[in-house]
Amino acid sequence: MMAALLVVMCHSICHVLHIACCIVKLNRDFAWSPTDNMISYWTCEEGDMPARVTLIDVPSRVTLCTKNLFGVADCKLHWQKSGQYLCVKVDRYKSKKEEKEKEMIKYAVRTV
């Protein structure tokens, strides 16, 4: 599978915000924070590497938080309207028969 490239543009001048972009291998989905300059994304499992949900700061590209997930079939990322919480809906494989079970994980991004 090819690596996914996430490019952030500055809307006022239509240029790439940073020339040194982050290359995210096996990027599946991402979501912007509605209030802060943060992006959350998840990558799928590959070999011995677990699936991972990552929260990065933009434009510094500093990783703020990372969570490893195992047995993941799919994830959906949802931000709370005020950007205080990130909800990750995880579909996991129950067994080798490809049955799925759902799990909701809530992360507090910032404290009030």
pLDDT per residue as tens digits for the range 39-88: 888 888 888 889 999 998 887 778 898 999 988 888 899 999 998 989 98
- What is the distance between the alpha carbons of residues 102 and 9, in angstroms, rounded to a whole number? 35
- pLDDT-derived band at 20 (thresholds 50, 70, 90) equals very low
More reliable by pLDDT, 20 or 84: 84
Q: What is the pTM of this model?
A: 0.73
For the chain, the distance separating the N- and C-terminal CA atoms, rounded to the nearest angstrom, is 40
Mean pLDDT over 87-94 rounds to: 85
Mean per-residue pLDDT of the chain? 76
Nearest of 92, 81, 83 to residue 55 by alpha carbon: 83
More reliable by pLDDT, 5 or 38: 38
Answer yes or no: are the C-beta atoms of 57 and 104 closer than 8 Å. no
